[in-house]
Amino acid sequence: MDILSEYAEVRAGHPFRGSVPEIADGCALTVQMRDVNPLHGVAWAQVARTNPGGRKKPDWLRDGDILFLARGARNFAVHLEHVPGPAVCSQYFFLIRLLPHCSMQLLPGFLAWQINQEPAQEYLHRNAEGSDQLSIRRGILEALPLSVPPLERQQQILALAAAHKREQGLLEELRKNREREMQGIVRRLLLAQA
């Protein structure tokens, strides 16, 4: 079986000391843990700006990159289809970038999808370290076993995953509408008795 490091490079996120200093007119967006979720990806509208300083030259995020949340109880990947401007990710992420010669073998969206599936999640959970806060080491992520089907099959799987995501969004909207409807019934009922 193939492993991730055969197809992609894994880099550490930008090393901020402590919390990310938010600067309204900063030169870059800084993706933090609060800005991502596995269903919707990066919520760019809420991403804070800052000036990434320090000795390390920023690894600017690019279209097609993958962010992997390496800290905390949920370790997942999000595919960046469109980065809206200069941006970095904080130190709680690994930046996964496909190797140039692999772009015709593996789609970044498929890699992110596969990282979020049960077999990969079980592997990551088994190899997480730490007691207070779990984390995944770079070497563990690089050694993640992968299955790489032909590109056409990857595209089919991504189309199914996108349809599933749309269905989840519709179901969530339906659930919220039903909840609002029930709250309205309760309010009217209580007002009628007052």
- Kindly report the pTM of this predicted structure: 0.87
Interacting residues of 194 by C-beta distance below 8 A, sequence separation 6+? none
Mean pLDDT per 10-residue segment, the chain (194 residues): 95 89 90 92 95 86 97 94 95 96 93 97 94 91 97 97 92 95 93 81
- Residue 131: per-residue pLDDT: 80
Q: Is 135 exposed, middle or buried (0-12, 13-18, 19+ CB in 10 A)?
A: middle
